[in-house]
Structure 1
Amino acid sequence: MRVSVIQMNQGSDKAANLDQARRLIEAAVESDRPGLVTLPETWTNLGGGRDSRRAAAEVLPPEGSGEAGGPAYEMLRGVARGHGIHVHGGSIIEDGGEKLFNTTVVFDPTGREIARYRKIHLFDITGPDGTGYRESALYGAGDRLVSFEAGGITFGCTICYDVRFAEEYLALRRLGAEAIFVPSNFTLQTGKDHWEVLLRARAIESQCWILAAASWGQYEERGAPRSVYGHSLVADPWGHVVAKVSDGTGWATARIDQAVTARVRRDMPVLEHRAARRVDLDSAAGRVDPEAAARPVAL
């Protein structure tokens, strides 16, 4: 299956963001003929503050109901049906009542929703420049792993900050994932140092393809400019970056080759080794002599 990762420069104007996403998807489909496209994190809104996020949020129809949703939900469904492709909707802002959710929805070529994932790990950090990010002040956290099948391939869902938690990717691998999505709004400061390193590490550890559509450029947050890194990419199960977008909006396309996945897993069966040598590491750490651990070791 050919997959295109779409890179956007969205802002706080939801209608303009929907138009940009539609145009980029249509250009990628016309140029590269992918069977699946994926968008960045919260591509319907970036910046503008709490009120702007609330205004962009959509109440999602019950899973499996086939009922109509909001403008972004229906745009994704229409693109999937219109082009006969799978659409992984990056993430949109879900109105969950008291809390919002950072939520992925996935549609098959008939426009049927086949997966929904809420971001588990919320971005509550202080950046290198002292800027604070408190996603949990507005968003609730998801509580379940999600995978789905498309074109004979099992895909796993994660979102942005999830990438720093390797155990989530290993859990998805155990669920059968062969490729894992990482739609993101990675900050410029963390992205330039950590983005590609983390994505390649998750690919190597899980032996899955990593499909990371990201936002690029500047946006405004409560009157102050902020920047996101972009550099959307596809990495193979060996950790090679096989397709990448540089600066600007655009897309990159790669073919998920299941023969590559099978070869990497056959030649280095780390999942089987984990199962055979599983150790309670917390308990093991408690059995270490602190004085012995502090002594230098000859290598």
Structure 2
Amino acid sequence: MRVSVIQMNQGSDKAANLEQARRLIEAAIEADRPGLVSLPETWTNLGGGRESRRAAAEVLPAPGAEGGPAYEMLRGLARRHGITVHGGSIIEDGGEKLFNTTLVFAPDGSEIARYRKIHLFDITAPDGTGYRESALYGAGQDLALFEAGGIRFGCTICYDMRFPELYVALREMGAEAILVPSNFTLQTGKDHWEALLRARAIDTQCWIVAAASYGTYEERGATRSVYGHSLVADPWGHVVAKCSDGVGWATARLDQAVTRRVRAGMPLPEHRAAARAWRDKAPS
């Protein structure tokens, strides 16, 4: 199965972001004929502050009902082109709290997965810039997987990648590939982005499919930068496709024969079971 990771430079203008995403997805489909396309994290809005995020948020419909502009665009692209569309994440209006939420649509336009980001980005960057995602967003509680092209995909979002136990849990639930839509800061990205994604591929022996935002955006009068470098890594940890700087996409083929070969040669689940037995015997 071929997958394309879409790299965007979104801002606070939701309509412009929707048009940029549509244009890039359709260009990737025309050029590379993927069976699945993946967008970055919160591709409908980046920057502009609280008011801008709330204005971009959408109330998500019950399955089969009509949704907001981003929801319907993703569903329409999936149906029109007969592919699976992984909508990175959009801002979900959950009432009192917003949620950072992934939506996935099958080739017939039906919604097949919904995932709310579990690990919220509450950190201080090396330059002293603070990020407090929990001030506006609620945390998800549930894992989500779906099937496309005969491959079982697990859903994560950005900061989730720093928690390998989540990825191991997805592998134990049958994941062969894990999606990681992201807005990774430039400061952390240049040191950690590729290292973490390759590590999660090696930990789980899964394909890692990571679409990311690139460039600068304005946040309450300050200019912030996101790293980009959207990539696909194979189950051995090799990066097999990567975006250059700027907007665009990268495409790779997920080969299940590679997955089987890596897993047969190094049976990590068996070895992990032994490690857990040792941990359970350790004194508290």
* Matched AA of 2:129: T
Aligned to 1:204, the other structure's residue is in SS state helix
Distance 1:277 1:129, change over 3 A: closer
SS of residue in 2 equivalent to 1:193: helix
How many Å apart are 1:280 and its aligned residue? Answer: 5.9
Q: Identify which of 190, 193, 196 aligns with 1:195.
A: 193
Determine helix, strand or coil for the equivalent of 1:101.
Answer: strand
CA distance in 1, matches of 2:258, 2:10: 34
Aligned to 1:290: none
Say whether residues 1:9 and 2:9 are aligned partners. yes
Match of 1:70 among 62, 68, 78: 68
Q: Matched residues in 2 for 1:125 and 1:283: separation?
A: 34
Q: How far apart in 2 are the matches of 1:27 and 1:47?
A: 26
- The TM-score, its normalising length taken from structure 1, stands at 0.94
Which secondary structure state, in structure 1, belongs to the residue aligned with residue 282 of structure 2?
Answer: helix
Q: Secondary structure in 1 aligned to 2:43?
A: coil
User: 3-state DSSP class of the match of 1:144?
Assistant: coil
Residue deviations 1:248-269 (CA, integer Å, cap 9, x gap): 0000000000000000000000
- State yes or no: 1:44 paired with 2:11: no
SS of 2:277's partner is coil
Partner of 1:57: 57
Matches within 5 A, 1:1-299: 1-62=1-62, 65-279=63-277, 281=279, 284=282, 286=284
TM-score (norm 2): 0.98
Distance across 1 between alignment mates of 2:151 and 2:35? 12
Question: Highest CA radius of gyration, 1 or 2?
Answer: 1
- How many residue pairs were aligned? 284
Structure 2: distance between partners of 1:282 and 1:232: 38
The runs of 4+ residues in structure 1 deviating greater than 4 Å are none
**Percent of counterpart pairs with the same letter?**
82
How far is the alpha carbon of 1:130 from its aligned partner? 0.2
Deviation at 1:275, TM superposition (A): 1.9
Distance 1:137 1:87 in 2: 29
Q: Letter of the aligned partner of 2:253 in structure 1?
A: R
Aligned to 1:295: none
